[in-house]
Structure 1
Amino acid sequence: MKSNKKISIFVFSVTTTLISTAVITNTYNATAQAAELVKNGSFELDPLVDPNNPNATNPNVTGWTKSGDPMDISGIRMSNFPQSGNQGLSLSGFIGLSYISQTLSTKPGVEYELSYYLASIDDELPLDNQFQTFVGGKKLFDQKGIFFQPYTQYKFNFKADASSTELKFGNWDKKGFLYLDNVSVKAVPEPLTTSGTVIAGLLGLWMKKKRFTSSVEANK
């Protein structure tokens, strides 16, 4: 009878350990899966062809606002040269910089990660192009003369100071095209403050299990 009682306690200890492990897994996944703040960052919501001109690509970009000289704005169009998926966004200009922007819902004090892919087909010197990145009116990136490159990922971290934050890209390419795709902004996950306590509890259960196993073996 004494031996059977010890074995039933051992089974309870294993069950508790499995439940505790599941709690850690679920908490981590909920934190890691941050919501996407950018609407139509993959530029897949609009048809490739201009609805008003079957011989031109589509200048309409759902979720984004264009600004600048009308001639330069006309160079912002859908493209069948994507980083992934079916479409990307082609950027060019004739006079100067034009812009495409979107206002994001953010939380003051929260840190976010901005990422996007940028490509250039310009390979003739001198290079007449430029690309800029702004978040909340602050310039994070400004490069002129971007030589030929495949889609290259750019990442920036920023901390929001308001409940809404403007994301804006400036562009100009007199001779060729720049291409933008897969724009994303997500909150940076915060470290779990309770994980150490939970793991310590699991370690304690594991040590108790080991001691009990040793006790059972000794009493056989």
Structure 2
Amino acid sequence: MRLLTILAAGALTFVATNAIAGPNLIVNGGFETGDFTGWTPNAVSFPMYPVTSPVEEGNYAVQIAGYSIENFPALGGPDTLTQVVTDAPSQSYELSFWIYQQNMGPITFFDVTWDGSTVVSMSYPASDSGDIPYVNFTVNVLGTGSDTLQFISANDPGYTYLDNVSLTAVPEPSTWAMMILGFAGLGFAGYRKTKRGVVFSAA
């Protein structure tokens, strides 16, 4: 009985945690359509396209890097990938994504903006070369009802791959407190039921 109670509590914890976090608001965040459905790609200086390798998860990722304006001014600057997200005003969200840098050159960087404000900015020194396999980045952003997420990337002369973009609501502290109290009640109920089921016999 105790094992069943523990397993049930664990299952409820998993379900409740995912329910509180809410759904992923990014359309086609894993690019599993095999294209840019839900996104607006702007291939300013180099083609952007889906790939089947390397991927972080699933079957597809996308190549998003263009060339830097510093090295190739005539080409117009880095590429951008944009999505307008419908969310809840004043709600805090966790933005998560995975980046793979391949065959990095003298200038490699990517920026992430939320409504035009930079929330992630990464640059790599010229001494770095070769590949940096997928790394997960997370940052909290604030919803306004309709927000613009944009990735800006340059990799001279290599490639930058993006995969598994997600935007999920960050639970309020009061919501976590209510959930914890609920699990405490569940544990107490299971304890009482187990205790009543014990039978003592005299020697």
- Calculate the TM-score normalised by the size of structure 1: 0.67
Aligned to 1:139: 118
Aligned to 2:40: 65
Change (3 A) 1:134 1:197: same
Aligned to 1:163: 145
2:135 is aligned, of 137, 142, 152, to 152
RMSD: 3.2
Alignment check: 8 A CA contact 1:107 1:163 kept: yes
Is residue 146 of structure 2 the alignment partner of residue 172 of structure 1? no
Alignment check: 8 A CA contact 1:24 1:198 kept: no
Alpha-carbon distance in 1 for matches of 2:137, 2:27? 18
Q: Which runs of 5+ in 1 are unaligned?
A: 1-13, 47-59
Higher radius of gyration, 1 or 2: 1
| Structure 1 residue 198, shift from structure 2 partner | 6.0
Alpha-carbon distance in 1 for matches of 2:186, 2:113? 46
Aligned to 1:85: 58
Aligned to 1:53: none
Change (3 A) 1:177 1:205: closer
Alpha-carbon distance in 2 for matches of 1:209, 1:141? 51
What is the identity, as a one-letter code, of the residue corresponding to 2:107?
D
| Structure 1 residue 145, shift from structure 2 partner | 2.6
Aligned pair count reads: 182
Is residue 48 of structure 2 the alignment partner of residue 76 of structure 1? yes
Alignment check: 8 A CA contact 1:116 1:181 kept: yes
What is the identity, as a one-letter code, of the residue corresponding to 1:158?
V
| Structure 1 residue 31, shift from structure 2 partner | 4.4
Change (3 A) 1:218 1:71: closer
Alignment check: 8 A CA contact 2:81 2:150 kept: yes
Query: Relative to total residues, which structure has the larger helix share, 1 or 2?
Result: 1
**Post-superposition CA distance 1:146-166 (Å, at most 9, x none):** 643011111112232x11121
Give SS of 1:158's match.
strand
**Post-superposition CA distance 1:44-64 (Å, at most 9, x none):** 213xxxxxxxxxxxxx52111
Q: Which runs of 5+ in 2 are unaligned?
A: none
| Structure 1 residue 136, shift from structure 2 partner | 2.7
Aligned to 1:49: none
